Amino acid sequence: MGKTTLAALLAHLYAVEGRTVLAIDADPDANLGSALGFSAEELARIQPIAEMKDLIAERTGVQPGQSGGMFTLNPRVDDIPERFAGVRGGVRLLILGTIKQGGGGCFCPESALLRNLVRHLLVGRQEVVILDMEAGLEHLGRSTAAAVDAFVVVVEPGRRSIQTAQSVEQLAADIGISRVLVVGNKVRGPEDEQFIASSLGGMEVLGCLPYTERAVEADLTGQAIYDAAPELVEAARAIRCRLEAGLADRP
């Protein structure tokens, strides 16, 4: 749909400005690294946090895969970004990985560690934090949601995508995020923009990324999206301006 593409573009824009950027891949099907141009070898060195059994056990007091019993709900996480992130093009990348047992909402030590990590990154730190999530919001709880500056949903011109955006808006509302912003992607012309703007009910559209073969190409070759598709960088720049302007005049 374009979530990972947009996340990589925004991370790049902040990084080239000299901001400290932490990009977090929270999709179980992790591919933000490849959109950021990390090579297969570089990615192989970034271990997903959910797979670090010893770390999880050390921090929570319980081996991953075990549930029931007692484990620490507020494990130490502040050193994790420095220790486990990879860096490329000024962007630091952290991969959360998949919780295998019990699904996303599971009450287990690995889920406690990931949730606490995401909360720490969003609440407790000064850098630009960009979280690339699948359509569910499993790592966000109410206390974390309050620290989210902007919640952006990516849609393609098409009814199914609009429906997904609406259900994500509902999930966001459930954890206290009332302002959901939309970015259109794979837009081929004014009719597509019109379709998106008119289908979304009350959601605010920040802008659109054009459809470009260069994005498809970049995905095939593993090139960073921001190197492969300058037109997307330009479009993302406009989107970021709208985003920042919206944040500035928010009550």
Ligand X SMILES: Nc1ncnc2c1ncn2[C@@H]1O[C@H](COP(=O)(O)OP(=O)(O)O)[C@@H](O)[C@H]1O
Q: For the CB of residue 166, give the shortest distance to ligand X in the complex, in Å.
A: 16
- Which positions from 2 through 21 interact with ligand X, judged by CB under 6 A? 2-5
Question: Do 142 and 148 meet the contact criterion of CB atoms below 8 Å apart?
Answer: no
User: Between vectors from CA 226 to CA 5 and to CA 161, what angle results, nearest 5°?
Assistant: 20
Q: Quick one: 51 or 134, whose CB is closer to Mg ion?
A: 134
Question: How far does the chain reach from its first CA to its final CA, in angstroms?
Answer: 31
Binding-site partner at residue 236 among ligand X, Mg ion, none, CB < 5 to 8 Å by type: none
- Which positions from 199 through 238 interact with ligand X, judged by CB under 6 A? 209, 211-212, 215-216, 219
| Length of the chain, in residues | 251
Binding-site partner at residue 120 among Mg ion, ligand X, none, CB < 5 to 8 Å by type: none
Binding-site partner at residue 199 among Mg ion, ligand X, none, CB < 5 to 8 Å by type: none
Q: For the CB of residue 75, give the shortest distance to ligand X in the complex, in Å.
A: 28
Give bridge partners of residue 186 from the DSSP assignment: none
- Please report, as a single letter, which amino acid is at residue 139: H
- Which positions from 136 through 195 interact with ligand X, judged by CB under 6 A? 154, 185-186
Residues 6+ apart with CB under 8 A from 57: 63, 64, 109
Examine residue 24 and tell whether it contacts ligand X (CB under 6 A): no
Q: What residues make contact with Mg ion under the rule CB under 5 A?
A: 3-4, 27
Q: Quick one: 65 or 136, whose CB is closer to ligand X?
A: 136
Total chain residues near ligand X (CB under 6 A): 15
Residue 11 has a CB neighbour count (10 Å cut-off) of 29
Residues 6+ apart with CB under 8 A from 204: 179, 180, 181, 182, 246
Residues 6+ apart with CB under 8 A from 187: 157, 193, 196, 208, 209, 210, 211
Q: Quick one: 3 or 119, whose CB is closer to Mg ion?
A: 3
Q: For the CB of residue 95, give the shortest distance to Mg ion in the complex, in Å.
A: 12
Q: Quick one: 122 or 218, whose CB is closer to ligand X?
A: 218
> Where do contacts with ligand X occur on this chain (CB under 6 A)?
1-5, 31, 154, 185-186, 209, 211-212, 215-216, 219
